[in-house]
Amino acid sequence: MDFYTEQAGLPVAQRLLDEFERVARLVTNPGFGTPTTKGRRVFPLRVFPYLVVYRSREVGIRIVVVRHQHRRPSHGGARR
């Protein structure tokens, strides 16, 4: 977080931390994301243009890739 605070300022760093806290809730609520193919779900960040692609596990989740919404949209598609 120090990097983001130094580079972009405290408000941006705080928004990033808030987004990470939202993503952490997926562990106990894996159904929050939108179902896609191959048993994956997608969870968009609200403030930043990224999608978290993940799979539900018996316990928790497995994040497959964090993908930018406008750059290389197929990035991470072949990952399991």
The answer as to whether 75 is a domain residue is no
Q: 3-state class of 44 per DSSP?
A: strand
**pTM tops 0.85, yes or no:** no
Query: Within a domain: residue 25?
Result: yes
Is 44 inside any structural domain?
A: yes
Residue 41: the pLDDT is: 97
**Residue 78 maps to a domain:** no
How many structural domains are present in the chain? 1
Neighbours of 38 (CB within 10 A): 11
Looking at residue 3, its pLDDT comes to 86
Domain that holds residue 50: 2-68
pLDDT in tens, 22-77: 999 999 999 999 999 999 999 999 999 999 999 999 999 999 999 998 876 565 55
